A and B are shown apart, each in its own frame.
Chain A
């Protein structure tokens, strides 16, 4: 028997049905490997006992002939998504003992489709970061080079899939937090259209930008998970009732005549030559597969990052006001009165980057600065979204560019300069601002053996075309089959 931890969900499905192995054996194999590769620090909590119990139930169901898309598949969950009875920390001291009394809708849907929680993965505190270094539980490590970051903020979820410590995982993407770590770790990472997956139970960072995303080894697995998780939820008024195509069928249709737009503004300084070369090669492959490359312009691109950081931080300062030490979360034992209880609990409970972002957000919303920062950023957002709308309505079906300007950087390399760190998200944030679906897929390696990701961006609600383009590329390349030696 080949090592079951290297299988895709599609392969797991057929292995379970043909009884080559059981869900318990699969889960056990993952638990052993997780224990062995603890030094990658990608899990905050491993749910061994509950996972094995769920696996047994799945094995019973399989025996009795039940078939579900994720039946018997253990899945790693970013620790920003609430799991009933399983500690959910957001990688923060603030929530280090928080045990949610409810499941996120995405978790309920995953369970309904036969999946179960293998463990909770490491992340930047409250999803604020691009490296998974800002975690109360310590930095995660990139399995391709353990001296480097896996990207972030969903770094743990990316590492789990890349290092075969889970067949798939869930993350969240506010400005690139699924796609950028997917790119750094050589896995598939999808951020769906804003409103596709319910945010109920996704602990809020910036609510108008946050979206749950999917990590997997293959595009087909991503389609399978997307099909299970997409849909309107009455508990999230920003989730939208929209038809969902049969994604697994849709992705096989090929890309003859598909128009892929290349934004000229994305060829900026600071993008690594090797990253550009890999993306260039990927475009040639897509052309050979029948796609047509067209030059497009997204003229407001240079304002996207500034716009994003104002809006995200403003929303964060408001969202994180709920952590006051009263109803749940960390409470400082030092406080003598209520005001002190608020400020001491927050000062002791939040990490440095979180405090920095709350302060910038508070400033941007404060009297006298609201129009200059927040309102202006909201106007910039309108212009950025319009850029995409006109490109999609007149010129192309999908947009392609690098996921990140570089490959994975060294741990500690960028932590002293917040602005430098923010620049990692330059290609991913416009997608969140416009609410579009985006995916990162493996498209090569640089001379140091570090993975490069290709980002594809789709029209709103058109994950079908997006995944189809990704699948066509993946089917004619082998990058996704490479595993790190750890």
Chain B
């Protein structure tokens, strides 16, 4: 069972803010989902290899050659705030050196 505090921690990890009282309802919903998926604990998985990719293919390489890419202007055409060719964001480091 996960409680309100754990929900708040998961929200923080997910970069999501919770509204007033939402941690209680989310704890209930998450517990109901986790309660359902808990049946996997019954399964004997000793010496079973995990599957991350169904066809088992890995490390697909292409020749290391340059090719034309998308023009910068087009690539930035959906960016909310630009300053010339640069993406604008709010301050990252506080001026007093904290954060």
Contact = CB atoms under 8 A, between A and B. Distances in A.
Interface string B62-82: 100000001000111111110
A313 to B, nearest CB: 8
A343 B53 contact: no
A347 B80 contact: no
Given A331-B80, A375-B50, A359 B16 contact: yes
Interface string A316-346: 0100010011111111000111111111101
Nearest to B38: A306
Interface in A339-392: 339-344, 346-347, 350, 355-356, 358-360, 362-363, 366, 372-373, 375-383, 385
B52 interface: yes
Contacts of A98: 78
Interface of A: 97-99, 101-102, 194-195, 208, 234, 237-238, 240, 300, 302-303, 305-307, 309-310, 317, 321, 324-331, 335-344, 346-347, 350, 355-356, 358-360, 362-363, 366, 372-373, 375-383, 385, 417-419, 422, 433-435, 460
B43 A343 contact: no
Nearest to A436: B54
A238 B60 CA distance: 9
A433 B90 CA distance: 42
A347 B17 contact: yes
Contact of B36 (A306, A343, A350, A366): A306
Interface of A is mostly: helix
Given A101-B77, A385-B54, A376 B45 contact: yes
Contacts of B39: 302-303, 306
A342 B43 contact: no
Nearest to B2: A363
Contact of A356 (B6, B13, B26, B79): B26
Nearest to B70: A101
28 contacts: A101-B74, A101-B75, A102-B70, A194-B54, A208-B53, A237-B60, A240-B57, A300-B43, A303-B39, A307-B40, A317-B14, A328-B79, A329-B78, A329-B80, A337-B99, A338-B89, A343-B16, A356-B29, A366-B10, A376-B45, A377-B37, A379-B49, A380-B43, A381-B50, A382-B49, A383-B45, A417-B32, A434-B54
B82 to A, nearest CB: 10
Contacts of B6: 363
Nearest to A367: B13
A310 B37 contact: yes
B48 A382 contact: yes
Contact of A238 (B15, B53, B70): B53
Contacts of B90: 335-338, 340-341
B55 interface: yes
A396 B43 CA distance: 26
B34 interface: yes
Given A240-B57, A306-B40, A385-B51, A331 B29 contact: no
